[in-house]
Structure 1
Amino acid sequence: MKYFVMLLLLVGCLSCVTWQLPNEDEQISEQMREKVEKKSEAVHLESWPLGMCSVVREMSAMLGEQRAELRHTQARLSALEGRLRESEAQIQELKTENQEFRRRDEELTRRFEELLKEHQVQSVKLGVLRDRSNITEGRVEELRKNNEVRKAAFSASLLGTGEGHVGPISTETTLIFGKILSNVGNAYNPYTGIFTAPVRGIYEFKLFVYNHATSSVSSGASLHKNGERLVTAYAHNDDRQHVSSSNSVIVLMEQGDVVFVRLWANRRIFDSKNHHSTFSGHILFPL
């Protein structure tokens, strides 16, 4: 009778344990109950202690706490896994951005090097152009000076002021045409009456002489190049009319050659504000 009561208590304890387990663990509890029932048949009823039911309840409670803690741990683990995946995604995104930044940096570096090389090339070209510009400016200045030198033209009248005769003089005399009408290039010297060729070239010279009517003295003068007589302007006078004469010449002149007019001995020429007697010349073209 005592053993039968103990068996009933054990079955009740098992029922209590089964009632306390969550529904999701009913299969596990059923297996434990079957094992306990089998073992109860093999073990002598007197070997079961009276406090077995309370022990089973405590073990069941501990098992429930462990399961709750496991579920909480799994939840935290799932959250950590989610955060880890987000972190990995962010890391991958940062890696992609870093690769893009690196690619852009390499592109900028390459472009900078290209621009630097282009700048160096442009600097060299600029230097060449500057040198060419300096050469060109020097050449232009030289041509301008040469052009100014090649501009040689003059015309002068015999008397600077008033009117009157020059001559007669007993010896041949160089005439000084003192009234400057034009003197481009300043190749004619109004103080000596001499024209000096600034450049080698072909020149033309003209001489005009005038004299009042007289039967005693004729007019005559010649153009001279260096020591050579080129042409003559001569007029035989009489007491009935005034006379004039002229002549011209085209001649090759070397740079530094001179041309001037010489009055013949015992001859005279007249000039006034009307500029009757003149000496003029100009360069036709340089050589």
Structure 2
Amino acid sequence: MWTASEDYKDDIRLSQEILNRLIEAYRKIRNTFRFMLGVIPDFNPDTDMVPPEKLLLQDRWALVRFGELVDKIRSFYDTYDFHAAVRNMLDFLVLDMSAFFLHMSKDRLYCAVPTGIERRSAQTVIWQILDGCLRLMAPLLSFTVEEAWGHFGKKADAPDSVFLTSLPDASDYPTDPELMTTMAQFFEVRDIVLKALEESRAAKLIGHPLAAAVHLQLVADSEHQKAVMYFGKDLPELLAVSRVTLENVASLPPDTIAVAQVTPITDERCPRCWNHALTIGTDPNHPELCARCAEAIRSIENDP
């Protein structure tokens, strides 16, 4: 990994500090692969794959984003810019996947109905991205990728070794410029929410983000308001809080795209998903659970 991460067109550098940074980077890559493998053991790509048009919007975004990455990495390979390939792959796995997509998908992966569309949609994208990542990184992290490939739930006709496959192609993944623009605008609002949550935690107003309700003020009919509305009921998941309310206002201070207000939630917490849901107690068979978790438990109990 050190060899690939160095720009051979410049002076080659080696120090303990550089090696320590690479050790940390490798640990993050390996942990991300391990997490992805751990959330798809019950996923059969031959029977459980959700078609692109039925994917949840946030899942479709991740797949489109990976397609963009594939195009970049293959261009770097064509020009022998291996250090750029390593840097871009690391940024994708650490920032796009681990810090955002995988983190916000945990609730669905752990708590949703096991065979429901919400969980299968996330698993579909994680499977496709992991499959592509392993093939894409095989020239750079050969032993690690081959090890992961051996634990990967592959398609029935997949070869036993990753080195008997081919590199993924950007055309294998969907494109959606409108979604990418919308998501970029949503991320700007999300940054404001994350800052408000951090300030509330520092002030001891809340502990865990799931104990928070976020009230968002956005200018009516603005691009950022439309971007937030685009995700509808999935906003709490995307912002990793229990509740989100929206208020359309006529205007905000200059250079302000949104205002986020955080308040603690005092409602009862579901012991299964940790969300402070208003539906706790509505299911007579599982009065301690929220409605979604009660449905998931019934599905598990009825699974033959």
Fold conserved between structures, TM > 0.5: no
Instruction: Give the structure-1-normalised TM-score.
Output: 0.17
Instruction: Give the structure-2-normalised TM-score.
Output: 0.17
Over alpha carbons, which structure has the higher Rg? 1
Of Structure 1 and Structure 2, the greater helix share is in 2
Of Structure 1 and Structure 2, the greater strand share is in 1
